[in-house]
Structure 1
Amino acid sequence: MCGGRGTRLDSDAEKPLFEVAGRPMVDRVRDALADSRVDTAYAVVSPHAPDTREHVTGDLPVVETPGEGYVADLGAALDAVGTPVLTVAADLPLVDGDAVDAVLDAADGSTSVRVPVALKDTLGASTDSDGPWVPTGVNVVADDEDSVVRSWDARLAVNVNRRSDAALAERLLAGTAGENCGGAVEGADGP
Structure 2
Amino acid sequence: MCGGRGTRLDSDVEKPRFEISRRPMVDYVRDALAESRVDATYAVVSPNAPETHAHLRGEMAVIETAGEGYVADLTTALDAVETPVLTVAADLPLLDGDVVNTVLDAAEGSTSVRVPAALKDALGASTDEEGEWVPTGVNVVADDEDSVFRSYDVRLAVNVNHRSDVALAERLLAPRTDASKPGGNVEGNDGS
Instruction: Give the TM-score taking structure 2 as reference length.
Output: 0.90
TM superposition shift of 1:168: 0.1
What is the CA RMSD across the aligned residues, in angstroms?
A: 1.0
Partner of 1:73: 73
Matches within 5 A, 1:22-101: 22-101=22-101
User: Following TM superposition, by how much is the alpha carbon of 1:144 offset from its aligned partner in structure 2, in angstroms?
Assistant: 1.1
| Structure 1 residue 123 corresponds to structure 2 residue 123 | yes
Q: Which amino acid aligns with 2:49?
A: A
In structure 2, the residue matched to 1:171 is 171
Structure 1 letter corresponding to 2:85: V
Equivalence for 2:138: 138
Counterpart code for 2:54: E
Number of the residue aligned with 2:187: none
**1:64-116 deviation per Cα after TM superposition (whole angstroms, max 9, x unaligned):** 01111111101100111121100000000000000100000100010000000
Unmatched runs of 5 consecutive residues or more in structure 1: 177-191
Deviation at 1:175, TM superposition (A): 3.6
Q: TM-score, normalised by structure 1?
A: 0.91
Q: Distance in 2 between matches of 1:154 and 1:95?
A: 9
Question: Are 2:6 and 1:6 equivalent residues in the alignment?
Answer: yes
Give the AA of the match of 1:142. Answer: A
Q: Flag the structure with larger Rg.
A: 2
In 2, Cα distance between the equivalents of 1:19 and 1:109? Answer: 34
**4+ residue runs over 2 A deviation:** none
SS class of match (1:159): coil
* Counterpart amino acid of residue 77 in structure 1: A
| 1:78 match: secondary structure | helix
How many angstroms does 1:129 deviate by? 2.1
Describe the SS at the equivalent of 2:72: helix
Aligned residue type for 1:118: A
* TM-aligned CA deviation for residue 12 of structure 1: 0.9
Identity of aligned residues (%): 77
**Alpha-carbon separation, structure 2, partners of 1:30 and 1:160:** 16
- The equivalent residue for 1:148 is 148
The alignment of Structure 1 onto Structure 2 pairs a total of residues equal to 176
- SS across alignment from 2:134: strand
Other structure's SS at 1:79 match = helix
- Could you tell me how far apart the structure 2 residues matched to 1:24 and 1:16 are? 6
SS state at 1:32 partner: helix
